[in-house]
Amino acid sequence: MAKHKGIYKQKGSDFYWLRYVGHDGKVIRESAKTTNFKEAQAKLENQRRAIRDGKEPEPIKRISNYTFRQLSEQYLIWAERQRSFRSKRGFILQLVDVFGNLPLRSFNTMQIEQFQTRRIEKGNKPATVNRLLATMKHMFTKAVQWEMADDSTFKKVRQVRLLEENNRRLRYLSKEECKELLRNCNGYLKEIVTFALNTGCRRGEILSV
């Protein structure tokens, strides 16, 4: 396939994406809404021609101003098919408590790094904070695929680094030890222990979900 400077593939998306400069000198990125390279090329030329002629480029489709809560609702539906849904749902609900009403386009690197700091100050282990961040990053990956967020926002989220984890004191239970532990739990306690084994969360973190 021939390469074109203004046409590229977005990770996780089947569609081609376009990149061109608008009247104000800012770079515009939008989905071409096609998997055919020649069609994408034709759409890019139309947009650039409109700019040269002093006209507004014809909008292919503008992304609506979705909130994180709206993304979480769609993501939970998608995540139901996964084996780890129960633990992932807990992380999503924790994120919604903090970011629920925030528009996706408002997310930035500093904001998420401050969230990491607050969680550590509350006593969360780095491993738990990393699972929250990993969940958020994947939610934004799907948001781009579902055209609920644009590439520039996704890049800001992706730039946030995971915290360093110190697991030298950790000891993991074997499968047999996990089974024996669950056999000795009943009722509500069994649900808590099951959640703890699947997520690695501390008692305070679980009871606050």
119-136 pLDDT, tens digit each: 999 999 999 999 999 999
184-199 pLDDT, tens digit each: 888 778 778 777 777 6
Place of tokens 């030890």: 177
Q: Are 60 and 33 in contact (CB under 8 A)?
A: yes
Q: What is the mean pLDDT of the chain?
A: 84
Number of H helices, E strands in the chain: 9, 3
0.95 exceeded by the pTM? no
Q: State how far the alpha carbon of 209 is from the alpha carbons of 89, 94, 196, in Å.
A: 10, 7, 12
**Cα 62 from Cα 77, distance rounded (Å):** 24
Confidence grade of residue 173 (pLDDT, cut at 50, 70, 90): confident
Beta strand spans in the chain (E): 7-9, 16-21, 27-31
Tell me which of 131 and 26 has the higher pLDDT: 131
**Cα 128 from Cα 202, distance rounded (Å):** 9
Two structure tokens written together for 205: 């973190």
